[in-house]
Amino acid sequence: MEPDVASASVGRRRCSAENDALVLDLLTQANRPLSAYDIADRLGGRGTHMVANQVYRTLARLIDRHRVLRIETLNAYVLRRSGANICLICKCCGAIAWVDLPCIDHVIGKAAQGRCFDLTDAPIEARGECDECRSAD
């Protein structure tokens, strides 16, 4: 008797690289930051089951590899943009915009060095209102 191919593939566990690719693809297509639960829901909508714990482990791996950034203010995740060090967050709609100010990295680095602090990452989050939300008021 031959095993059912469909049921065999359902039971197969994805490797971490496959999970990484799924999450990166989803974040690439998203036009906004996504929470881990948003990611799990959207993957489920695509027919790919991934529980929140798997999503969190995958995100942690991608953050360690500098592929994803956690937006603390929103408790959500986005693809890391090379060179961008300031994230402007609209407090109304949640839209984000990136700014690259190398001088900020230098100032923060010097301040950390002056306190004998080993700085590993220093993205800055600033909240306000985007043009669209301000125009809607």
Tens of pLDDT along the chain (137 residues) come to 444 333 334 556 788 899 999 999 999 999 789 999 999 999 999 989 999 999 999 999 999 998 999 999 899 999 988 778 899 999 998 888 999 988 888 899 899 999 999 888 778 999 999 999 999 87
Alpha-carbon distance of 15 to 91, in angstroms, equals 37
The residue type at 42: R
For residue 12, what pLDDT is reported? 66
For residue 11, what pLDDT is reported? 56
For residue 89, what pLDDT is reported? 92
C-alpha dist (Å) from residue 37 to 41, 56, 72, 127, 134: 6, 9, 15, 23, 29
For residue 13, what pLDDT is reported? 78
Task: Give the global pTM.
Answer: 0.79
3-state secondary structure of 84: coil
The domain locations on the chain are 1-80, 83-137
- Integer-rounded Cα Rg, in Å, for the chain is 19
**83-137 adopts what CATH topology?**
Dna Ligase; domain 1 (3.30.1490)
Architecture category of domain 1-80 in CATH:
Orthogonal Bundle (1.10)
Question: Of 122, 111, 90, 85, nearest to 100 (Cα)?
Answer: 85
Question: Of 63, 69, 64, nearest to 87 (Cα)?
Answer: 69
